[in-house]
Chains A and B, each alone.
Chain A
Amino acid sequence: MSPAALLLAALAAASPGPADQHVLAGARAFRAAHYAEALVEFRVAGRLDGSGEAGWYAASCLVRLGRPEDAVEAFDESARRAPDIRDDLFSYYNAVACHDARLYLCADGLLAKLGERSGPRIREEASRLRARVAAVLAGEPSKATVDWYLARAQESAPRRHLLAAAYLREAAGLAAHRRDGYRRTEAETSLKRAGAAP
């Protein structure tokens, strides 16, 4: 099964509630590859249902819509609001979002945690993605790379604190891979100031 089909299967198993109608409409749209329609339905469901479950689906739609930074934020938000909902499928989509947003350490961490329950198709996709991530992360990251993530965090900070925190985590992690720990303290301090643990 493809990741999209797996997501649908997960939806079919979703518990009934006031937002069901929209969740199912979103699922139908997702299956038809109408990701904008699916996102809208999941967003509406999220407004009607306080459980935070729809947020995971909406975040997956954002990945499909090619909005990785929005997806990273949405996954982070969902992880805070409804951490128990996370499963291997969402983690896989989250990893894709991180990869597409150039948050390779984030992607690598998520892919590493994927369990055996994720099924052969997801495992296969995840394995390919992890190999690409590993290729990017091979060797010591340059100072310019660390600078880029810190700058990106600074740009995002005024309005998108979750995204900024994700970039800071990436910067801190990359700096830790350097022998000189270039700007690591700065990244970690900024992360603490932003209220997020490294």
Chain B
Amino acid sequence: MAVLLVAAALCEPPLPAPAVSPLEALDYLEVGDAERAAGSLDTAQVAYAEALRLDPSSDRARLAWLAACVEQHGDALLAEGRRLLDEGDRPGALALFERLRSGRSDPAVDLFEGIALYEEGDDERARPLLLEAARSAAWSARAQYFLGLIGLRDGAGAEAASLFERVELAGSGGLVERAAVLRQTALRTGRGVVSVFAESGYDSNVTYAADSQPAPTDGALGAGLFGQLRPLGLSGPYLRASAFLRQQLQVHEGDLGVFGGQAGYRLGRGETYGLFDYGYELTRLGGSNYLSAHRFRAGGRWLPFGRFSVAGVYALRLGSYLTAGSSAYSGVLHSLSPEVSYRFPLGSSMTLGYDVFRDATQLAETSSWEHGPRAGMHLLLRPTLRASVESGVRLRNLDGGPVQGVAAVSSTVYFGSVAAEQDFGRLTVRLLLGARASSSSDAANSWTRMTATLGVSYTAGIF
């Protein structure tokens, strides 16, 4: 339908004749076919229009008229398809591109249809078209760029990095900048990824001491390992494992160790996908096992139109607190995190979300509802330099007070952070500044905490 409307704007469909004459229409169709075969599209268009005028119900006449119009106005239709694509009307753009491609070879159409299919998440159909477009010198850089994106999305980091490098060498303008950004990402992705990291940090209130009390400040050193396997690429099963150790310089009751593993499945390579996974995590605090938790998670992301995406994740954590002082917090933690994002053309993005937590423990005084909005901005300042700002508010209400007749505690937690990351090949240096403040009906739960962390990581896609 979109094709018909666009063609109508370009070729002026004929008004029906006062008397329908299918037999006469056939003569015009034959003449149109002969003219088209002789390469004379304008004459063919005239003949088909007359056939359509004489027999408006003839599919053959309508399709022939449309095909001749498309062929004759290929450039205008390609421009219209690109406009639709830019406006986010991918189905409309795809219908035009498919029509344009039928019966002729045009690398520009191959490219833009490939891009539309890529944006639709249909990498299987996009790839051959982009490969075809890449053979044309005029479109090679752009086609390779999108092939790189497909490789990136498929977890083929090395292949993607190589494609982006070729774009950097051959392309120009904004495309080169974006390729440089993505090559950095590609170098750190793949179907198998390992990462090691180390960090040092400052914490103004390690123990969450109340604002009325002196807060123990401390420094810390940390290190960790992370590994991930995606044997079938981005869409398919995945396995993750991680270990993190942080040693406080003075307040050793804050020494932390977190060890976890995760197995899951993601369906969809593109911006639209669904996932579910199971994970196990053991947390050690102050040298003792602190929390043993099983976590189930399901969620997805959907790109309904343009650059906006909607995402949501539901998680269920079955947690057992393993120390005497914390065992009352054992129970089931539900969390739901919907969000809306807008992605800017060069990779920056803005996110608005709302988180809801339900911590259902064995006791009312430790069970709680917690919810609140958050906002984030991720900025791509240079191909290798990123910055982010996040902030939010959480309202936390415990179900009951510690003893009969005492009001339940309610708290409001404000949080914000600023981070900057600079890549040096596979190395990334990261600076994170964070602040959290709790304002509570219970003075003991009103606290302020500032943190600063400087870390470095090395990440490599191993295959």
Contacts and interface: CB of A to CB of B under 8 A. Distances in A.
B136 interface: no
Given A43-B34, A67-B40, A70-B38, A37 B27 contact: no
Contacts of A40: 28, 31-32, 35, 43, 46-47, 50
Contact of B43 (A47, A48, A65): A65
A70 B46 CA distance: 18
A62 B413 CA distance: 82
Interface string B136-170: 00000000000000000000000000000000000
Contacts of A47: 27, 30-31
A70 B39 CA distance: 11
Contacts of A65: 40, 43
B30 A36 contact: no
Contacts of B40: 65, 67, 70
B42 interface: yes
A44 B27 contact: yes
B324 to A, nearest CB: 94
Interface string A40-73: 1001100110000000000000000101001000
Given A36-B46, A37-B46, A43 B31 contact: yes
A70 B37 CA distance: 12
A39 interface: yes
A151 to B, nearest CB: 20
Interface residues of B, number: 15
Interface string A65-96: 10100100000000000000000000000000
Contacts of A37: 46
Contacts of B38: 70
Interface string B30-65: 111011001010110111001000000000000000
Given A43-B31, A43-B34, 5 more contacts: A36-B45, A39-B35, A40-B47, A43-B47, A65-B43
Interface of B: 27-28, 30-32, 34-35, 38, 40, 42-43, 45-47, 50
28 contacts: A36-B42, A36-B45, A36-B46, A37-B46, A39-B43, A39-B46, A40-B31, A40-B32, A40-B35, A40-B43, A40-B46, A40-B50, A43-B31, A43-B34, A43-B35, A43-B47, A44-B27, A44-B28, A44-B31, A44-B47, A47-B27, A47-B30, A47-B31, A48-B27, A65-B43, A67-B40, A70-B38, A70-B40
5 cross-chain pairs, A with B, having the tightest CB-CB distances, nearest first? A43-B31, A40-B47, A36-B43, A36-B46, A44-B27
